[in-house]
Amino acid sequence: MSAQNLLVELFVEELPPKALKKLGEAFSIALFESLKAQGLTETDSVATSYASPRRLAAHITAVAVQANDKRQSQKLMPVSVGLDANGQPTAALLKKLAPLGYDADNMPMLKRASDGKAEALFLDILVPGMGLEGGLKTAIEETLAKLPIPKVMTYPDPSGDGWETVNFVRPAHSLIALHGTDIVPVTVLGLQAGRETRGHRFEARVSPVMIQSADGYASQLKDDGAVIASFAERRAEIVRQLQAAAAPSGLTPIEDDALLDEVTALVERPNVLVGQFEEAFLEVPPECLILTMKANQKYFPLLDAAGKLTNRFLIVSNISPADASAVIGGNERVVRPRLADAKFFFDQDRKKKLADRVPGLMKVVYHNKLGSQGERVERVRAIARWVADKVGANVDLADRAALLAKADLLTDMVGEFPELQGIMGGYYARHDGEDEAVAQAIADQYRVRRDETEDVSNLISEVLQIADRTETLVGIWGIGLRPTGDKDPFALRRHALSVIKSFQLLGGMSCALNQEMQLDLDALIAFGMSVFPAGVLAGNVAEELKLFIYERNANQLAPAYGAEATAAVFANMPPLHDVVKRLRAVREFASLPESPSLAAANKRVGNILKKAEGEVGEKADPSRFVEAAETALFAALSEIAPRAEAAFAAGDYTASLQALAALKTPVDAFFDNVMVNADDPALKANRLALLNQLRQTMNRVADLSRLAA
């Protein structure tokens, strides 16, 4: 029989909305891969995923009724066990052959071959192809076992007497397995496969929906069941309706992919409606209102042309009544108390200044080994003052920002919405009359920065970012809570990237002002360690933390600049603010025609110097040269090294590296004509010193040997 398309649907109770997209994709991929492994699909078979709040489904094209038979070479046993001294089959071999339907008469069919350890006997057998019924049951069971289920439920087996149980993410009520128009009679989770499913709870045209064919699943479910089965199609429809509903008023729905995915997982056939609330609530910071509407109600706030929050919002409803006023009114009534709470919290919080809340931080535990939030604030203040002095920031403002940074943890608003930490502190600081730079720094302290073109708009913000992240990195690392594998509960990797970003921004600012960058990572870590009480930190924190930060930076940059260039630059552990600049220079150098030869020579030089016995000189003595190639290389170095060094000192790493291109010819000639390991010890030492001089000149910007193939 020719291959036909296959549909599998599992109809369940409401699935976890935040996990639905991943569950739907995993269901179709795992089902397809299992059928493919069993030989039941064709080379051009394609899987399509369907996922709605109450179903997981997959449509797979070109699935066979029976997989092709396969010839398989089966290892029986070592020759020494299966054959006696006369080459006749032993009792052990005959016993092994019997269940396979073979006996001594089939000895000529056996092959002798090595299994990697010893000579063994092999039998070529024809393995019957898997049938669709058995293969599909196996595929579904394997798929369910692999699903990324957040939490498994245990419930009574639908086919049992109430004593047996099954496990799945939610109780399953029906199973569809259609091969073309035919039902594949499999049983999974206590459910016998059929063609029956359920549509929309309230708006289905017929119930149940009897799916006639695998290919008609999506269209029939949409027409008869009022359900858009495809997650992607449903999401696109929501986006279309959101834009259409906002357009008449000239407004724009807020962009939030996570919210869009979650809402897509909550509705089967979306209907977007417009709601509104009293304008008086707009006196509350927009972040509070937006978070309330998104997190609690799953609404899409609407922004005006200037990006300012309005008093309108979009509701993604799962029903489409002729008169939607009741639905809109109900949602408006529900959101109003939420907004009223936010306004109440905001009004109450402003009655007490941030500075007056600071003493209360002494009662808030930060970590049992690191003390209270109040003690942490004092450490951050000390680091902030030190950093501010290094980068030329106002020390008093930096200290003030660090003092007030965590005070909003004790406000009602942050107690209700922890996501607003820092943001609310910025608002309250402005209300209290604090300097704008201080208020902005407090608001910026938790911000994750990703924009490559970003610059320093508030120096106090950078100082507070560095101080806060350094205190966390040093403290958490020092008490042994380092990241392991994919576990990083204190977000030390993110903190490291934040420190790196601040170094880059401050380095760029110093360059623009034609000033030398005064902040040094080693000194920063050392000072960060000094603010902790004696005996709190354990291990080689300084060295380990520096390596950790550099590794994070290397991992971050390698995809953009390549593994070789990244390894070349980070081999020298350059200042953090210089890394990107050096990477760009190395990338340009690698494109020069002389680059491969010089990189290979550099690697060769490094290997020679590693094997050298005793101390190698820093500079060669030209009076000891014997070969013309030695003299030529020394002369070239004497001319090129000062130019390369001057460019390096000026921060022009591209020019510094490109100056090295002229060394290709004398370097090649040197290795073609000069024996470095000469019999004369003095001559050998001088040549090693010349190579050392060459390496020092070539590797100022980066270890160019890492570019060699």
* Domain CATH number, residue 15: 3.30.70
Residue pLDDT, tens place only, 391-437: 999 999 999 999 999 999 999 999 999 999 999 999 999 999 999 99
Lowest mean per-residue pLDDT among 83-92, 349-358, 434-443: 83-92
Same domain? For 180 and 238 the reply is no
Q: Which of 600, 664, 597, 676 is nearest to 637 (CA)?
A: 664
Residue pLDDT, tens place only, 666-688: 999 988 888 888 888 888 898 88
Same domain? For 259 and 297 the reply is yes
Q: Which of 473, 465, 474 is nearest to 387 (CA)?
A: 465
What pLDDT shows up at residue 407?
97
What pLDDT shows up at residue 553?
94
Distance CA 519, CA 294 (A): 41
Task: Provide the number of structural domains found in the chain.
Answer: 5
Residue 360 inside a domain? The answer is no
What pLDDT shows up at residue 384?
97
Q: Sorting pLDDT into bands at 50, 70 and 90, what band is 491?
A: very high
Q: Sorting pLDDT into bands at 50, 70 and 90, what band is 512?
A: confident
Residue 569 inside a domain? The answer is no
What pLDDT shows up at residue 453?
57
Residue pLDDT, tens place only, 517-529: 889 999 999 999 9
Q: Sorting pLDDT into bands at 50, 70 and 90, what band is 18?
A: very high
Average pLDDT rounded to a whole number, residues 126-141: 87
Same domain? For 428 and 515 the reply is yes
Q: Choose one of 194, 225, 256: the last residue of a domain.
A: 225
Residue 359 inside a domain? The answer is no
Residue 522 inside a domain? The answer is yes
Residue pLDDT, tens place only, 197-228: 999 999 999 989 999 999 999 999 999 999 99
Residue 356 inside a domain? The answer is no
Residue 313 inside a domain? The answer is yes
pLDDT at position 340 over 80: yes
Same domain? For 529 and 616 the reply is no
What are the DSSP calls for 61-74, one per residue? EEE-SBPPPEEEEE
Q: Are 23 and 15 in contact (CB under 8 A)?
A: yes
pLDDT at position 454 over 80: no
Q: Are 401 and 438 in contact (CB under 8 A)?
A: yes
Q: Sorting pLDDT into bands at 50, 70 and 90, what band is 22?
A: very high
* Domain range for 261: 231-349
pLDDT averaged over the chain?
91
Average pLDDT rounded to a whole number, residues 428-447: 95
Q: Sorting pLDDT into bands at 50, 70 and 90, what band is 260?
A: very high
Q: Which of 340, 344, 337 is nearest to 411 (CA)?
A: 344
Distance CA 644, CA 659 (A): 6
Q: Choose one of 210, 225, 240: the last residue of a domain.
A: 225
Q: Sorting pLDDT into bands at 50, 70 and 90, what band is 614?
A: confident
Distance CA 521, CA 573 (A): 11
Distance CA 38, CA 17 (A): 32
Average pLDDT rounded to a whole number, residues 158-174: 87
What pLDDT shows up at residue 84?
83
**Which residue in the block uniquely carries the two structure tokens 């357009």?**
247
What type of residue is 266?
L
Same domain? For 459 and 381 the reply is yes
Q: pTM score > 0.85 for this model? A: no
Distance CA 578, CA 168 (A): 53
What pLDDT shows up at residue 1?
46
* CA trace torsion 368, 369, 373, 374 (10° rounding): 120
pLDDT at position 515 over 80: no
Same domain? For 244 and 380 the reply is no
Same domain? For 43 and 89 the reply is no
Average pLDDT rounded to a whole number, residues 685-699: 90
Same domain? For 88 and 147 the reply is no
Residue 357 inside a domain? The answer is no
Same domain? For 424 and 301 the reply is no
Distance CA 458, CA 452 (A): 17
Average pLDDT rounded to a whole number, residues 99-123: 78
- Residues 6+ away with beta carbon under 8 Å from 194: 174, 175, 176, 183
Residue 567 inside a domain? The answer is no
What pLDDT shows up at residue 563?
92
What pLDDT shows up at residue 452?
57
Q: Choose one of 112, 127, 142: the last residue of a domain.
A: 127
Same domain? For 24 and 167 the reply is yes
Q: Sorting pLDDT into bands at 50, 70 and 90, what band is 451?
A: low
What pLDDT shows up at residue 421?
95
Distance CA 16, CA 23 (A): 9
- The CATH number for 665's domain is 1.10.730.10
Same domain? For 557 and 611 the reply is no
Q: Which of 145, 167, 136, 170 is nearest to 154 (CA)?
A: 167
Q: Sorting pLDDT into bands at 50, 70 and 90, what band is 253?
A: very high
Same domain? For 194 and 283 the reply is no
